[in-house]
Structure formats: C-alpha cells, structure tokens
Structure 1
Amino acid sequence: MFELPVRRKGQVIAMKDDEPSEFLNPLETFGVDVRELRRTRRITLQALGKVTGYSPSYVCKVEKGVVHPSERFAVGCDKAFGTGVMLTRQRERALEGDHPSWFLPYVTYERKAARIFDYSTLYVMGLLQTPEYARASYRLTMPGTTTESIESKVAARMSRRELFTRTEPPPPKLWVVLHEACLRVRVGDSKVMAGQLGRLLEDGERPEVTLQLMPFDAVPAVATPFTLMAFESRPTLLYTEGPVAGRPQDAPKITAAAAEVYDQLRAEALGRRATSDRIWRMREEYRRE
C-alpha cells in the first residue's frame, strides 16, 4: 500500500492512505487531494504531467508532499480536473502556512503590488534570496527548528519568486536599495555568499528590477529597513518590521513621508552599473576564500 511521510512532533513517520488527515500538513494535504482527484478521474501521472507541463516525476513528488507545487501546476490541475480555482487557492493557503501569521498580509500585498520599493540594511530581501542563503538565515535566526520545517519555509520563500515569471498580471516593478552591510554580513559560508551575490547580479539584469547599493562611505537618510508597495486600485502601503512582528500602514501622510525618504536613498546610493561592478568584485572575493 502507498505510504505518505507525515510529520508528527518534528519526526517523519509513515502514514497509510486511510490514516486520519489531521496529521497532514497543508502541503501534504494538497498532494493527497491531487492524487485522489487524479485517481478518481482515471488520469495517469504521465497524462497529468503532459497537461500541466511537468514531468511525471514532478507530479509524483507533489502528490507525496516532497515539493511545493508551482502556481502553473495548480492552475493546470484545476483545468484538468474541472475544479475551478479550488486547487489554486488551496496551494496559496498551503504556502501561507509556512509564513508567520504576522507576515501573511505582506505576502498577499506583494502578489498584488504593481511597484515595490525596498530598502534592506542587514539581510538581502526574501524575494531576491537563493535557497542556500534563505536556509542559512533560517538556521541562524530560528535555532532549534527542525530540518523539515526549515525546508518547508525555504520552499515557501522561493515560491514568491514566481512573481518574476508570471504573465497576468505582469511582474511588479521592483526597486531595491541594498546597504553594503547586506553583502558583508556572512550568512552561511563563503560559497553561500558568492551564490547570493551571483543571484543579485542576475536579478539586477531583469528589466523589471532596479538594484542599487548603499556603500559604507555614504550616510543613508534612514537606518531602518522598510518596503513601500504601490497598487493600481488601492493606496500605497508602507511595511516595516520590528523584533517579533511586522506592521503595514497606509496613512497618506506616512507613506508620502516614506516615499520622500526613499527618493533620498536612491539619490545617495550607487548607480546601477557601479552597483553591479561592486557586487561582482565582492562575489569574486568570496569565491577566492
């Protein structure tokens, strides 16, 4: 009989098809539902893979709860099974389950934003992180967390990068000012840092991304990180984080003041080409270590 790995108190155990579903996490529940819908409709792994644009192996991994399904896969399954947007929404809830409850509003706003302006002072913003960097940051900031939980959180963070590949609505315009400390604070080893800086170089070449570096020898207009998000049909939002939680604000006076500060940051930071050159040199330093 097919057995599904299930987490119970931080351990992985075998669970049979007919065991209680309360032991499944949201990711595993999504996989079970896809499997049951596929079997009910007598669709093979190969056939579902062809319809969704993925390999049978990928479909199998989703059904086992091993990988987070992509948005394209969930949409393809809804079309194949005739389930409207049921699985697409279930996937969104499953991914949100890997974020702290206070961070969920940010994830929702990020998906809907037309323009995002971010200022990071210590860590590279999550949307631009590599899996290795994200994994190392979780291990540093969440000691004692199980490997399974960290991997689930890493996958959820990486899923946010689907913003860059979606077609409708188009990807948001992303402007990021990174303080040089983000690239000097060692998250993981030199290999992880070299990989992260390489990702920044790649993302900086995207037409929808503008990346600027705030060098140590500049005095920034503000010392704390923040994010501004602009939308087509709602007021601009300011998002800031504290030691244990985050807070969105949309009062016009507050967001307008933050926008002025961001303009100053952009004026003080290096230009795109100078930023790219500095990041490239720093990446080479990590590579030589």
Structure 2
Amino acid sequence: MSSRHQPADLNPLQRFGLEVREVRRGRKLTQTQLGKAVGYSTGYVSKAEAGTLMPSEKFAQGCDLTFGTHGLFARLLRRVAEGDHPSWFVPYLQLEWEAHRILDYSTTSIMGVLQTEDYARAIFTAGHPRAAAEIINGKVAARIRRHHILDREATPLLWVVLHESCLRTVVGGQSVMVGQLEHLIFRAGCPGVDIQVIPFSAGAAAAHTQAFTMLEFSGAPAVLYADDVPQGGRIYRSDDAVRMGTEIYDRLRAHALPPDESVAFIKVLTKEYKQ
C-alpha cells in the first residue's frame, strides 16, 4: 500500500480513494473494469477514487474481492467512518456499523446520524469554542459520514424517539433549525426509519430519562449505549442493563406521538421557525 506517500492534506475519503486508484492501477484495471467487477458504474468508481463520494460497504467489499486484499478496503472504509471521533466513541461506531436495528432516545439534541451539516457545525462550535476551524471541519465531516449507514445496501432499521426539547432548542439559529427539521421529515419518509416525538405534556414519563441508544444485531446480543458527558459515553452489555433499556424504550414510545402525528408536529414547528 502507498499511504506513507500520500500528501498530508488529504482527508480520509481522499486517502481511501487514492488507495483504491493505486491498487486498481497495480492490477492493470480500468475504472470501467473495476466498476463491472464490483457492480457499480464508472462514474461511481471515479467519484470514490476522487474522494467526493462516501463509498458503500458493498463497494469496499467488492474491491477486496477483486483485488484479493482480504478485507483491507472494508477496514479502511470503517476507519473513514470513525475518523475525527473521540477514542471513547469509536467502539460505539463499530457497533453502530454492524447493528441491524438502532433504537435511540434523544433528549436535548438530534442524534448524530440524523444531523445536518449546519446543525452539526453549530453543535461542535458551541462545544469547542476555542478549536481551530480545521478541527471543527474534521468533526463535522466525520459526523456527516455516519449518514452512510442509512444509505448503504444493508440499511439498519432506525427508530428514534425525540423529546420535544430537541426540536425547541434553537441550534445555530432559525434557518439552521428549518434545515434540520426538514431533514427529519425527509428521513421519516424513508423505508426503515420511524421518528416519534414525545411532547412536553408527557411530563415525568420522559423527564427522568437520559438519552440512550439500543443497538440490536443479527445473531448477537443487544447492547445499550448511554452518554456521560464530558467523560464520554459507555456501552452496557449485561442482560439486566439491556432489559431495563428495552423496558424504558417501550414506555417512551407509548407516551410519544404516533409516527404520522410526529411528522405533522415537526412540520408545524418548521413553519414556526420560518416565520
């Protein structure tokens, strides 16, 4: 591999693309030939090599099969998804990548997988007010790359319960909130995505519960992840913790608005932000 010769200013996607291009050339394959081998168009290969497109898991696995690199590009792609995240969060990202169902309860901000770029930038800027622009840019890019799990071939089922405070807290200004809420509406219309809003009127049913995420897997036990900022999040694997998390999540869903009413609620708030 050629990573030691790569320019220092390349971002993770560009580094991945450069590795694909150099190995492809080493195997004396054209972009068209590689595309046919992995099941993608020449244009897709070109964008992946240029680092302007987040490649799919299928693409990375196809490269490994075509090049005989034994999982190398699948691992590189995973590192791209993990880049610029704090070390304590990387184990969660690895599990999120593998999960076949994600159940999230958010209390004060939209979960990372559903954040827009502007919303994420406002979050990181507020959380790291003294950080240089390039640091913030790296964190934003890493968060947006997490969107890939909802666009890949093996898309996990995503169920999100949002406390109304997530939607009422103005992050980055009204225009940023309009974009964020419109993105939630868009995602709610995608297959395999359910979004419910738990209103302020639910009272103590939600007020006593901190944000957490349940990850379920095919053929492996579920895990629970909870934030403990600023020390970082923690993954719970015990049966008792997972069972308790499941019970709490079921109660939260019971007190939340149904999905259709939740989308209607978000649309009303979007109009309010536009005024």
TM-score (norm 1): 0.80
Task: Report the RMSD for the aligned CA atoms in angstroms.
Answer: 2.8
Q: Which residue of 2 aligns with 1:5?
A: none
- Percent of aligned pairs sharing the same letter: 40
Secondary structure in 2 aligned to 1:236?
strand
- TM-superposed deviation, 1:93: 1.6
Whether the 8 Å contact between 1:49 and 1:59 is mirrored in structure 2 is no
Q: Which residue of 2 aligns with 1:12?
A: none
**Correspondences of 1:180-199 after superposition (within 5 Å):** 180-199=164-183
Whether the 8 Å contact between 1:26 and 1:93 is mirrored in structure 2 is no
Residue 61 of structure 1 is aligned with which of 38, 41, 50? Answer: 50
Alpha-carbon separation, structure 1, partners of 2:46 and 2:121: 24
Please identify which structure carries the higher helix content: 2
Structure 1, gaps ≥5 residues long: 1-16
- TM-superposed deviation, 1:272: 1.4
Residue 265 of structure 2 is aligned with which of 278, 284, 287? Answer: 278
Q: 1:173 to 1:152 in 2, by over 3 A?
A: same
- TM-superposed deviation, 1:77: 3.8
Q: 1:143 to 1:57 in 2, by over 3 A?
A: farther
Residue 116 of structure 1 is aligned with which of 102, 107, 115? Answer: 102
Q: Which residue of 1 aligns with 2:250?
A: 263
Cα shift readout 1:133-187 (whole Å, capped 9, x = no counterpart): 112211121223333333333232222222223334xx22222110111111111
Alpha-carbon separation, structure 1, partners of 2:35 and 2:135: 27
Q: 1:76 to 1:144 in 2, by over 3 A?
A: farther
Residue 196 of structure 2 is aligned with which of 209, 212, 221? Answer: 212
Q: Which residue of 1 aligns with 2:238?
A: 251
TM-score (norm 2): 0.84
Whether the 8 Å contact between 1:75 and 1:85 is mirrored in structure 2 is yes
Q: Which residue of 2 aligns with 1:126?
A: 112
Residue 145 of structure 2 is aligned with which of 159, 162, 179? Answer: 159
Q: Which residue of 2 aligns with 1:149?
A: 135
Amino acid corresponding to residue 151 of structure 1 in structure 2: N
How many residues get paired?
267
- TM-superposed deviation, 1:120: 0.3
Amino acid corresponding to residue 74 of structure 2 in structure 1: T
- TM-superposed deviation, 1:108: 1.2
Residue 176 of structure 1 is aligned with which of 160, 169, 172? Answer: 160
Whether the 8 Å contact between 2:110 and 2:162 is mirrored in structure 1 is yes
Q: 1:261 to 1:207 in 2, by over 3 A?
A: same
Q: Which shifted more, 251-260 or 22-31? A: 22-31
Alpha-carbon separation, structure 2, partners of 1:147 and 1:68: 22
Find out whether 1:99 has 2:85 as its counterpart: yes
Q: Which shifted more, 122-131 or 74-83? A: 74-83
Find out whether 1:140 has 2:129 as its counterpart: no
Q: 1:127 to 1:40 in 2, by over 3 A?
A: same
Structure 2, gaps ≥5 residues long: none
Residue 201 of structure 1 is aligned with which of 185, 190, 202? Answer: 185
Secondary structure in 1 aligned to 2:160?
strand
- TM-superposed deviation, 1:31: 3.7
- TM-superposed deviation, 1:202: 1.4
